[in-house]
Amino acid sequence: MPRFRRPRSPARLLRQVAAATLACLALVLALRPPGPGSPAPRPLVQVAVAVADLPAGATLGPGDLTTAALPGDVVPDGSTPQPGTLTGQVLAAPVRSGEPVTDVRLIGPGLWAQVPPGEVAAPVRLADLAVATLLRAGDRVDVLAATAVPGELASGPDAGGTTVVVVASGALVLAAPPAATDPGGEAAGDGLLVLAVHPDTAARLAAAAATSTLTVTLGRP
């Protein structure tokens, strides 16, 4: 016995026709060339970016970077389209998730290129690790040296037993330790900064580090 199909309801048929019409309209709009007044599409460039927030001092691994397509006119100088070329390099400053990783964010030639003419890169180890982790590349700091005065010599302004002198003013921070903490909640790292200073100032910093406790005050970048 022949089987007969039930006729479709008019409402269902109308919905199907409307859906097909909308799909065709969307396809036509997507394929339509831009009009005379429409802006031309911006060409995209592949660039290596951070997968997640990364701290200063981190060594870049294969899983830390990926590629993203960005408009060519906003891609910063010193970036690269190949994340693999950055594996094993150390960050001189923190990087946000999705931020392109450029040469000035890395410890190496790109960072040293930021040393102003006539200055040198000088390592400075601070006594207070927590202070060091507050700093970021690009900050300006004054370096203070605190020296204990023997009791028999402490008099007048040195009656407190310690003298404090400024050994570097407005030094540019090139690299700073990460702000991570150890399981006990204490600041991690060794408090080592890299500063751009005049060669004479670098000599004073080296001499002060041998006899005094160093700390910094933060000024305007």
Domain locations along the chain: 44-111, 116-219
pLDDT of residue 219: 66
pLDDT of residue 178: 63
Domain topology for 44-111: Type Iii Antifreeze Protein Isoform Hplc 12 (3.90.1210)
What span, in angstroms and rounded, lies between the C-alpha atoms of 124 and 209? 8
The residue behind tokens 């300006």 is 140
pLDDT of residue 160: 56
pLDDT of residue 65: 92
- What pTM was computed for the model? 0.53
Q: What is the pLDDT along the chain (221 residues), one digit of tens a residue?
A: 555 555 556 666 677 777 777 777 776 666 666 666 666 667 888 999 999 988 777 789 989 999 998 888 888 888 888 989 898 888 877 788 888 998 877 877 766 777 888 998 888 888 887 888 788 877 889 999 998 876 554 455 545 578 889 999 999 888 876 654 444 444 445 577 889 999 999 999 999 988 899 999 876 55
pLDDT of residue 183: 46
pLDDT of residue 151: 55
pLDDT of residue 197: 92
Residue type, 67: T
